Structure 1
Amino acid sequence: MSDNRVVLVTGASRGLGSEIAKNFGRKGYFVVINYFNSEEKAKKVVKEIGEDKAIAIRADVRDKKQVKTMVEKAIARFGRIDVVVNNALINFEFNPVTQKKVEELTWENYTEQFEGSIKSSLNTVQAVLPSMKENQYGRIINIGTNLFQNPVVPYHQYTTAKAALLGFTRNMAKELGSLGITVNMVSGGLLQTTDASKVTTPEVFQLIADSSPLQKVTAPEDVAEVVGFLGTEAARAITGQNITVDGGLTMN
């Protein structure tokens, strides 16, 4: 049982984020669905969870003021925030054809992804910290990728930003642990299928399936289950970890 705990999921209107939000909803959590552009999709997720249990709030997670306002609205509705899932993906698509080669990359390509991964996560952590401190309880879960362990396709700027997010995760885990707050990362493989992976060809998905011990491609629901577990009291002794959910394609 969630004991009526409250979770905030960024980028929760579609793809992996919506599956994470719905997974928490099924567990009995109150769910705050953050979105940026996809208002109608966010409202649909609210409806699926239940309008008495979920709320959709628009905010650009790269903007500290917007995140602060979003958290204030969420606390006004549900009383507190216990779990944060930093899932939002900013301006990126897993397309090996359009991915820039090393000689074409600019520093701006990197900073865009660093802002999407690191700045946005810092904004949410800082915004929810007073609520978590007050309750001496918190679960922060950052969404990573298995690509920084095995860069099958060199998605340079995205993968580098997610690798940095692991450093962010472990430093936050060290500082916040004494407050009853755990901080972990969950890294999926290429998921079948989200908006970000919709251009991936069937041949690539088949190659991934053939290469993994489970002989299947990871689905958003698979990752959502692990995120949901890390948000519970049962995961109280797990912090500073990167849990890879990719059917054994990469092994730690």
Structure 2
Amino acid sequence: MQQHHIHTPSAPTFDQQVVLVTGGARGLGEHLVRAFLREGAKVVINYLKSAQAAEQLANDYPNQALALQADVTDADAVGALFAKAHAHFGQPITTVINNALPAFSFNGDARENAEQLSWNNVHQQFEGIVKGALNTTQAALSGMREAGFGRIVNVGTNLFQNPVVPYHDYTAAKAALLSLTRTLSQDLGPDQITVNMVSGGLLRTTDASAATPEAVFDYIAANTPLRRVTTPAEFADAILFFASPWSRSVTGQNLVVDGGLVKN
């Protein structure tokens, strides 16, 4: 009986990848950048306004890291970033981590409720989260196809399943990003490009969660199976999985990393 061998493409290890982390200079982004650098990847640290933090981080890893300014909502600026990165490292960006977040404070007490919510709030989040991810994805495609490999990881939220705080605008934009994650995974699969989402809950602590009252951290910890709030470093490690060769057959998925609070 004849055996049919299906060719499984080998996936590049971290040291063969150029990784873009949007919003990579501070908060969760900085932890993501450090996680990839630790594993030997070359990393583009994208920032909007945090030039000093981005440059300082890049200077710590002179041969591995490159700090580049770009507003992810500006397609031309994103395209220029990809061109600069390609010229600098001599190879295209093949791994994109869509982490950038439009200005947002995670303080439920100060957020707009159903009566106060304006379309401007929603539009701002959609522009930064959905348009930003679309721009980086489109800018990445030619390089990914050239390399025969691509990894796109979008940062989501466990508020889809557990909307304990009314972040209507933020959650709606992240939910749209989850749908885009799934449709893109279907569209780009034949090119060996995987598209996944990793969704955190409250992280202790990032710039965005600095406004969160202490009582909320205590409440989340008490209701989480692991009895603690997930750290940005723990979340970053889960993102590494989706860029690694170990996830080469995983696409269109949403992994919740929150200590077991939400079962996905």
The alignment's TM-score, normalised by the length of structure 2, stands at 0.93
Match of 1:76 in 2: 87
- 1:108 CA displacement: 1.2
CA contact (8 A) 2:15 2:39 kept: no
Give the counterpart of 1:140 among 152, 162, 168.
152
Q: CA deviation at 1:4?
A: 2.4
Amino acid across the alignment from 2:158: N
Secondary structure of the corresponding residue to residue 51 of structure 1: coil
Distance apart, 1:104 and its partner CA: 1.1
Aligned residues of 2:15 and 2:42 also touching (Cα < 8 A): no
Spell out, residue by residue over 1:77-103, the C-alpha distance to the aligned partner (whole angstroms, 9 max, x if none).
112111000000101110112201111
Partners of 2:224 and 2:211 lie apart in 1 by 21
Query: Matched residues in 2 for 1:222 and 1:188: separation?
Result: 10
Residue 153 (structure 1) aligns with: 165
1:15 and 2:27 correspond = yes
Q: Distance in 2 between matches of 1:126 and 1:91?
A: 23
* Cα RMSD for the two superposed structures: 0.8
- Aligned-residue offset at 1:75: 0.6
Query: What's the offset of the Cα at 1:230?
Result: 0.7
Cα drift, residue 3 of structure 1 = 3.7
Q: Which amino acid aligns with 2:40?
A: G
1:119 counterpart (115, 121, 131): 131
Residue of structure 1 aligned with 2:62, choices 51, 54, 57:
51
Which residue identity lines up with residue 68 of structure 2 in the other structure?
I
Which position in structure 2 is the counterpart of 1:25? 37
1:52 is aligned with what amino acid? Answer: N
Q: CA deviation at 1:23?
A: 0.4
**Which residue pairs with 1:216 in the alignment?**
228
Matches within 5 A, 1:1-252: 1-48=13-60, 50-78=61-89, 79-252=91-264
TM-superposed deviation, 1:237: 0.6
Tell me the number of residue pairs that the alignment of Structure 1 and Structure 2 aligns: 251
2-structure distance, mates of 1:25, 1:196: 23
1:36 CA drift (Å): 0.3
Shift of 1:47: 2.7
Query: C-alpha distance in 1, partners of 2:132/2:188?
Result: 18
Q: Which runs of 5 or more structure 1 residues have no equivalent in the other structure?
A: none
8 Å CA contact retained: 2:107, 2:213 = no
Quote the Cα distance in structure 1 between the aligned partners of 2:55 and 2:15.
Answer: 24
C-alpha distance after superposition, 1:7-60 (max 9, x if no partner): 000000001111011100011100000000101111122133x11110000000
AA in 2 matched with 1:234? W
Work out the percentage of aligned pairs sharing the same amino acid: 50
Counterpart secondary structure, 2:240 = helix
Bigger radius of gyration: 2
TM-score of the superposition, structure 1-length normalised?
0.98
Aligned-partner residue type, residue 120 of structure 1: G
Question: Per-residue CA shift, 1:204-240, capped at 9, x if unaligned?
Answer: 1011010000001010001100111111111101100
Counterpart of 1:191, as a letter, is L
| Cα deviation 1:120-174 (Å, max 9, x = unaligned) | 0000000010000111100000000001110110100001110111000000000
The aligned amino acid for 1:220 is: P
